[in-house]
Amino acid sequence: MRKTWPLGFFVVLSALAGHAIAGANTAQLNCKGRHAGQALTLIGDVPASIVEVDLKLSYGGQTIRLASPAATTSESTDFRHRIFRLEATLSGSNRLQLQAMPKSIRYKGSRGGGRLSASFDAVLKEAPEPFAIALKGVELRCTYAYEV
């Protein structure tokens, strides 16, 4: 005899599976700083276990959104070894590259444990247009939060 499951069981199971996957895929990045007397922010979702990004870079009254699939990303995160580097490319050489200053990295938890939080100072090695020249080399204070 075959067991039949009610449709609601699969809807709930699918919703729970989707929630777990969504939580495991991204982390929240929140960076703030000042340059030439104006506020600078880089806020949004960054890759944690898959390569997706949804960031907003704001400076001088302008905001640029760097989001998948238009933006491709690469990331190196190993807080235990004092490494955090994020690169988001919009097209060709129009990209954002953020790199943490290793000695400034403070963290607790782990991705494997389902919760990780970190804080660090970082440098914008590259910024996308129209900010490329103005923001290259600017320092930011960042927090990183991941939770399943």
Structural domain for 137, as ranges: 26-147
**How much is the average pLDDT of 8-33?**
52
**Structural domain count, the chain:** 1
Examine residue 124 and state whether it is found in any structural domain, yes or no.
Answer: yes
Examine residue 16 and state whether it is found in any structural domain, yes or no.
Answer: no
Examine residue 82 and state whether it is found in any structural domain, yes or no.
Answer: yes
pLDDT band at residue 144 under the 50/70/90 scheme: very high
| pTM across the whole model | 0.79
pLDDT band at residue 50 under the 50/70/90 scheme: low
Write the pLDDT tens digit of every residue in 55-110: 999 999 999 998 888 888 888 889 999 999 999 888 777 899 999 999 999 999 98
Examine residue 123 and state whether it is found in any structural domain, yes or no.
Answer: yes
137's tokens: 């080399």
Whether residue 11 has pLDDT greater than 80 = no
Examine residue 108 and state whether it is found in any structural domain, yes or no.
Answer: yes
Q: Residue 113's pLDDT is what?
A: 84
Whether residue 2 has pLDDT greater than 50 = no
Q: Residue 8's pLDDT is what?
A: 34
148's tokens: 């399943």
Beta strands at 83-91 and 54-59: parallel, antiparallel or unpaired: unpaired
Q: Residue 49's pLDDT is what?
A: 60
At a CB cut-off of 8 Å and minimum separation 6, what does 21 contact?
A: none
